[in-house]
Each structure stands twice: as C-alpha cells, then as structure tokens.
Amino acid sequence: MSVRRSTALSAALLCAFVFTLGWLGTREFLSKQLTGDAVNATRTELDRMVAAYHVASLGGGRPALAAAIHSGDATFEVVAESGEAVVRSENLRSLDPAWTPLPPAPIGAPADWTTTTSVTLRPGDHPHWREYRTYTVLGRLVDDVPADLVEPTGREGSTLDAELGGADPAKRQRLTLYLFVPPWNALGTLRNFDDTLAVFVPLAVLLTALAAWFSAGRALRPVEAIRRELAEVSESRLDRRVPVPRSRDEVARLARTTNETLDRLQRAHNQQERFVADASHELRSPLANLRAGLEVALAHPDRADWPDIAHRSLLDVQRLQRITADLLQLAVGPDGQPSAVVDLADVVAEQVAERSFDPGAPVVSSIVEGPAPVLGEPVQLERLLRNLLDNAVRHARSAVTVRVGEQADDVVLEVLDDGPGIPVEDRERVFDRFARLDDARTRDAGGSGLGLTLARDIATRHGGTLRAEDAEAGARLVARLPSARRAEPEPPA
C-alpha cells in the first residue's frame, strides 16, 4: 500500500474511532441527563399525587384526585396495605397483560417513606408493544386515606378518582403510590441524536480521508520529485541534484542530505577518474622508457652496457614507485579528524637534520620561534614538510630556509629557497597535478609532479591552507594550520 493511501486510510480509521467514541460518550451523557430530568419531573408528579390525596382527605374530595395527574398517558398504580391494587392506569395492562401489583410499603414504614425500583413490562403478543422494556418506578407512602377515596379496589383509568363508590369515609386505609418514569422523551431524543450522527459521522470520516489523501499527496510531491531526479542519476550524470522545497520540514532536510550525499559521490567519482587519468598519463612515460631500454639491450646484447641499463632501469622503477605512492595518497580520502598533538618544531628539526648529511645539495636551515603544536597525523605532517623541502631543494641555488612559529590561533610553516621563484600568475597552477613551470621542466629531475598537490591536500585535511606568497628572492610557500591551543580548555576563573 502506498504512503498516500495508507495515510488516508489511517486518518479515516482514526477519525472513525474518535467520532464513534465521542458519539457513544455523548450519547451516554445525554441519556443520563435526560433520564435524570425525567426522574425529577416524575418525582414532582408523584408529590402532586400524594398532595392530592391529602387534600381530598381533608374535604377536597374527588375533584382533588381528578386534578392530581396532568398527563393522560401517565403510568401509575395505587396499592393498598393488603397488596391489592386500588387503581392503576389503563395502559399498564396493555403494556403487560400478565401484570401483578407492586408490593405495598413495609409495615411500620415512616410517613415520608419513598422508594425507587425498576420493573420490566412484557407485552407478549400485543401488536403495538413488541419489545420488553425496563422502567424506573418511584414510590411514595400516603397514610390515613378515607375509604370513599379508595374503594372499590381493582379499578382502572387515567385518573385517581376513576369509578369511585360511596364507601364509608370513617374507614381509613394506608396506600402506596407508584408512578412510572416515562422514557419516551429520552428515547426520542436519543433516536434523533443517533439518526443525525449516523449521517454526519460517515460524512466526517469521508471528508477526513479526502483531506488526508490530498494533504499526503501535496506533502509527498517533493518526495516524488526527489525520486525522479535520483532515477536520472547515473555514472555519466552525477551532476544531477534533487530539488529542495522551500519548506523547512523533514522533506527539505532529506533533499539537502541527498544533495550532500550526491556531492560526496561526485567528488569520489571525480577523484577516481582523476586517479585513473593521472596514472595512465604519468606512468606511460617511465614504463615506455623502461621497456624501450630493455628491448634495445635485448636486441643487441653483445653491445649493451648492462650495468648502465640496470642503473637507468632502477631510476625508472624508483620514479614509478614515487608516482604510484603519490597517486595512492591523493586517491585516499580523509579517514577522520586528526586527534594527536604534533609539535611542528620537532618535525622541522628532524627533517632539517636528515638533509644536513647530503653534501651536494643546497644548505637547509631552520628558524624555530618556539613550540608549534597542531592537531594532526604525524606521518602526514612529515610528508607535507618533506614534499615542500623536496620542491625547494630541487629549485634552490644554494640555500633553503624553514621557519615555524605561531601567529594568533594558527601555526605558520614557511619554506623559502633562493631559486628562480614562482611568477604571480603561476602561484595557483603549481599546485595542480603534474603541473611544472617551463624552468622546472629542465631542472625538476626525478619529481613526480604531485608533491605540491599532495602537500596542499594534507594541509586542507588538517583544516589549514597552503599558498605561494611573495618573497624577496626565490619561492616562499606558506602553510597555516590551526593551533592545538584552540582545543585546550580555558582555566577556571
């Protein structure tokens, strides 16, 4: 199932669950409220019936009983102390043909005795009352009622005075009045409530599903655009980038992350292509020289100077080794943030000391202004300085100077020589792969053409820079690296 469809379905199900839960909860609250109102109204009617018997007993007679019940549909029953029904509503027998009288109040019950009970009316086969319904019934006790307001017993009617006879008023009886709480108002209201919500709840669920469908489609539109662009990305089209929506939501962050990943893939691909191109370009010449020399020597073995051929072949192999090592170094990406603290002053001292044993090379000296700690890889930083010194020694006439010290938050490493220098227009080109200036083509014997490129790459990996800058004479290469003192915590105040 698609995300759009599952989102719409989930929203519809959630809406149906919430609305149904609200429907049932509201219905229960409404039912209790309506039932409570009906009970209160019935209790008022029952109090009126009791008051009518009191008034009739004091001389009000049958008119007081006739006015006691306001509704002709009221369901009531008056029970004598003997358990016999005195009078009951006509519809009671219709609701339950097998009805038996409710029990009278207990013997010795106080004058203010009341009760609340429930009864189930069973209409049987009556054509209009098929269901069995439970009713709440309220009961009250009325004492000292004249017999002429009671007898004859077993009467039915819609009022309390139906078919009263002329009994002896001197006789007094104790009656229990029962009045049924009518459920019709509550049932009708609940039925209308259910009918209304039965229409609006499905409509609300449908509208929610449609809104979720269109909202999900609108939200996923950038995702579809991202998918289409990614489908176009191939080995020959790594420059494609996915569109970034203007919103600041998760989709926009996904698009930015995708573009960053594509950038890294393109850089890796370009790096691989450069490695292959550089290797095929630079390795071809020494391999051709090596093969040609060997083929000529083998063609005329009796006239070949084998020691000289071996010496020249060894030089070609060494050149191949240097080129291969530099190419592999450039092809390997940074393997993480440097973590060791390296003192560049020590590195300079070691490199200068190594070159002091070469009597035929220019003199290499150093100026160390103090400790120069940086965060980095010792081997890489040694390689950076070695490449700078190799370049300076090949081009210097008589002297090379290395200066190291701290400036603000940086460690500055300078390598100066007294050679021909670097023209201003070529100061960036010397860092390109296999780039050699015209003068260097005749003097740069044995170089791979990758030394300065690799040195700048190492400086960049360590968060620094490497540039060719102005000098009074010769060339001046300046590397700036972040000082390790930046990472040191400040002392507590």
Instruction: Give tens-digit pLDDT for 332-365.
Output: 655 544 568 889 889 888 888 888 766 677 888 8
Give the predicted TM-score (pTM) of the model. Answer: 0.52
The pLDDT, as a whole number, for residue 310 is 85
- Is residue 459's pLDDT more than 60? yes
What is the separation, in whole angstroms, between the first and last Cα of the chain?
A: 62
pLDDT reported for residue 442: 41
| Per-residue pLDDT tens digits for 127-183 | 555 567 889 999 999 998 888 888 888 888 888 888 887 777 778 889 999 999 998
For the chain, domains (ranges, CATH) are 3-187 (3.30.450.20), 267-331 (1.10.287), 340-487 (3.30.565.10)
Residue 121 DSSP code = E
Which DSSP state fits 416? E
CB burial readout 53-87, b (16+ within 10 A) else e: bebbbeeebeebbbebbeeeebbbbbbbeeeebbb
Q: Which range, 45-49, 319-323, 382-386, 424-428, is most confident?
A: 45-49
Predicted confidence band of residue 121 (pLDDT cuts 50, 70, 90):
confident
Q: What is the per-residue pLDDT across 197-224, written as a single tens digit (0 to 9) for each?
A: 999 999 999 999 999 888 888 877 787 7
223-249 pLDDT, tens digit per residue, is 778 778 777 776 667 777 778 777 777
Give the lowest-confidence range in 160-169, 266-275, 456-465, 477-486: 266-275
- 252 vs 225: CA distance, rounded Å: 12
**Matching residue, tokens 């004058």:** 111
Residue ranges of E strands in 353-482: 363-368, 373-376, 399-407, 410-417, 465-469, 476-482
- Comparing 50-59, 209-218, 243-252, 253-262, the range with the smallest average pLDDT is 243-252
> What whole-number percentage of the chain has pLDDT above 90?
26
Assign 480 a pLDDT band (cuts: 50, 70, 90). very high
